[in-house]
Every structure is written in structure tokens, then in C-alpha cells.
Structure 1
Amino acid sequence: MTDMTGAAAPRHWFYAIPLLGWIARDIAHGDEDNIYYALVILLTALVLIFKTWGLAGITMVCLAAVPLVFLMLILITLGK
């Protein structure tokens, strides 16, 4: 039998996100190899988007990334 009296690891809300959750959990527990697999998957998705919809598809991806870039700029200027 296992001892269940020990403190459980903190459960974060982003662990429940299907694709990003396992990457975040692996990075948090010291296994950084899976981030390279995620980058390959992202690059493959971008290539397939470009092959399917052309420049309009890449433009939509860039437009979706604008709020993330603004958030990163705000976080950088706040010093966090």
C-alpha cells in the first residue's frame, strides 16, 4: 500500500488544458525534452496552415498572437 498522508503536489488550472497541460507539468517536474516535441508540432501546424489557406491563414495566426504580444510587453515593462 502507498502512503497517502504526504502533501500532494499543487494542482494548477493550466494542467487541465489538453495540449499545454502535459507540457507545463513535465517542465515543472524537470523533464524539458517534451517542449521540443511541442515546438515541432507547432511548426508542423503552421506549415499545414500555410499550405491549406496560404498567406491568409498565416495572417490569422499573427492576428491571434497580437494579444499575447501585448501581454508580454506589459509584463516586461512592469518588471515581472
Structure 2
Amino acid sequence: MTGAHIPARQPFWMRLFLAIPVIGWVARDLMFGDKDTIWYALIAFVSLWMSAALVFGLPGLYLPALALVPCMFVLLVVYAWG
């Protein structure tokens, strides 16, 4: 098994972000790994969301969507910006 090619020198904020245990591992694999990894990450995200809906009912479906509202707002501003 080969490791992902990571550039030798990165900014401090990126090294700090990639050092976070689970999120950093996935982000490192998305940035420097195979290009198909994004689909696996999306499938895992949707599966976790649907599992929360099965376990917690409607709040498990609605609360993650409500938490994603600021992200979508930022995306809309970025798209409108140009």
C-alpha cells in the first residue's frame, strides 16, 4: 500500500487542519489521494445522515440540514460574487 504524495512544505494552518484525527484524514485523502475518494466521502456523509434520520426520526433529518444553512449561504454569496 502506498501513501499519498504530500508536498514537503505546507502552510501552518493546513498542517494544523490535516492533524485533526478523522476530518484531517479524510481531507488529506481528498486533496492528495485518488480522485474517486470524493464519491466515497459523499456516500458516507449521506449514509450517516440517513442513519441519523432512522435513529432519531425527523429531528435527525432536519437538524443536519439546518446546520448546513450557513454553508449554503456562503456558497450563494460566493456564486453571486462572481
TM-score (norm. length: structure 2): 0.69
CA contact 1:49–1:58 (8 Å) conserved in 2: yes
2:8 aligned partner: 8
The AA in structure 1 aligned to 2:58 is: L
Gaps of 5+ in 1: 1-6
Give the 3 Å change call, closer, same or farther, for CA 52–14 of structure 1 in structure 2.
same
**What count of residue pairs does the alignment treat as equivalent?**
73
2:43 aligned partner: 40
Name which of structure 1's ranges 63-72 and 29-38 shifts more when overlaid on structure 2: 29-38
1:65 aligned partner: 68
Gaps of 5+ in 2: 1-6
TM-score (norm. length: structure 1): 0.70
Q: Which has the larger radius of gyration?
A: 1
**Which consecutive segments of 4 or more residues in structure 1 shift more than 4 A?**
none
